[in-house]
Structure 1
């Protein structure tokens, strides 16, 4: 009889212990569900949402839509230069009045390094932003043709900010590091790009060349203004090279040196 009571008591104690453990696990689970979302996950979601919002804000989702709704050489123009050096392609797909200063810089880099050039330039009197097509959707056949024949693509972009910063990204980390070092030698503040503008997407045209990688530069409004006298980004100033400051040439020279050191 005593042995039976001991056995019952043993199992009763074990059940109580198991119950306590299960209750502890349950309350731990409930507590975790009530906690704020992990910062990295939240940041990633915010960046993804920002990227989706940027794409959704574009009036045109691809080049065909833009081309059918606008007039070439009146609303926009291409600027294409082909050299004997087919390996390097310099691009500014948001040039002219879309992201002012980017196509002007791209042309100088192309000239200094004797690189191929593709720029798409907004010519509207106002609201050139409506001609913006994000890099993952910019599918002009002329650009595709040049990209397919290139080993390296360097894409020049602008972002709206008063901060003194250049963001650099892309899959070609060695080339990005090389350009970053040369820009820093000239006194430019260069930082790693946030995920949403880092140029790493498979759909980004800079990754559709022979090497499957490239470099994307995002230049703040403040720095682009500093390229021109009186910090003026209007079309009249940008089309007059006598209004250019030395800083735009220093920037272009640094990018060119960075490219040459890796090719």
Structure 2
């Protein structure tokens, strides 16, 4: 069963492969490349379907790489045609280098493609706070953004999605990652217009390197508070943390500043 409409991904009807071993056994090494830059950052940004597979995704990751603040990973199709055959779903993306980089990271962001000629960004993933933060940064700069959840195929919320397989926050709380699905219309624009690409990447960088560290410092205070009390010894990962995150999101911040203020409260 496929989900169509605004939530349908650009690769919804692409069979692709079910493992990297399957892909590498069937495809010529010259038809794809893997680019990595591991600088030891706590944040890794991925393009799982870069190059000719989903044009514009690896370009965005490369633009973020230019800030020198993040580990970056791109799997890029290099075929002259039919790069869609190199597709490996995010929930089955097990290329060893990507898996290792994600598992060593505290925070992860994956950039994938979505269908549609409109210029729109779809935000998903298990890390609801970071997803909302990126959304607010983009919307305040005039970009059209929609948050996705089940049953959207590109919601990015499954545990099996590689973006959600990063380290636990405070060794106890699963934050997961954020999946940014960029429509074909917007991806084509970013790939063709360096100014547009720099502007879009700059907004995401502001969210990741400017606002997010402030939020993390507040989240650490929340988790420290959760560790207090006699009941902690019986259940150290009781869902107090998730409850507080949901309460923060329900306040409906309109700007990144408001979101930070809501957390501080």
Please give the TM-score of this superposition, normalised by the length of structure 2. Answer: 0.71
Query: Aligned match of 2:25 in 68, 77, 82?
Result: 68
Residue 253 of structure 1 aligns to a residue whose secondary structure is helix
Contact preservation (8 Å) 2:112, 2:182: yes
Task: Say whether residues 1:245 and 2:200 are aligned partners.
Answer: no
Unaligned runs of 5+ in 2: 169-173, 214-265
Larger Rg: 1
Contact preservation (8 Å) 2:43, 2:107: yes
1:102 is displaced (CA, Å) by 0.3
Contact preservation (8 Å) 1:78, 1:119: yes
Contact preservation (8 Å) 2:2, 2:12: no
| Distance in 2 of aligned mates of 1:56 and 1:191 | 22
Q: Decide whether aligned partners of structure 1 residues 228 and 89 sit closer, same or farther in structure 2, where only a CA change above 3 A counts.
A: closer
| Distance in 1 of aligned mates of 2:58 and 2:32 | 13
1:160 is displaced (CA, Å) by 2.2
* Partner residue in 2 for 1:21: none
Unaligned runs of 5+ in 1: 1-44, 230-243
Count of matched residue positions in the alignment of Structure 1 and Structure 2: 200
* Partner residue in 2 for 1:11: none
Query: Aligned match of 2:181 in 215, 218, 229?
Result: 218
Please give the root-mean-square deviation of Cα atoms over the aligned residues, in Å.
Answer: 2.1
Q: How does 1:4-153 map to 2 (within 5 A)?
A: 47=3, 57-72=14-29, 74-85=30-41, 87-153=42-108
Q: Decide whether aligned partners of structure 1 residues 60 and 91 sit closer, same or farther in structure 2, where only a CA change above 3 A counts.
A: same
| Distance in 2 of aligned mates of 1:200 and 1:59 | 20
Residue 262 of structure 1 aligns to a residue whose secondary structure is helix
| Distance in 1 of aligned mates of 2:37 and 2:164 | 20
- Once the two structures are superposed, residues 53-85 of structure 1 have per-residue CA deviations (whole angstroms, 9 ceiling, x without a partner) of x6884231111000011122x100000001132
| Distance in 2 of aligned mates of 1:202 and 1:228 | 30
Residue 17 of structure 2 aligns to a residue whose secondary structure is coil
Task: Say whether residues 1:199 and 2:156 are aligned partners.
Answer: yes
Contact preservation (8 Å) 1:58, 1:134: no
* Partner residue in 2 for 1:262: 212
1:104 is displaced (CA, Å) by 0.8
Higher helix share: 1
| Distance in 2 of aligned mates of 1:226 and 1:252 | 13
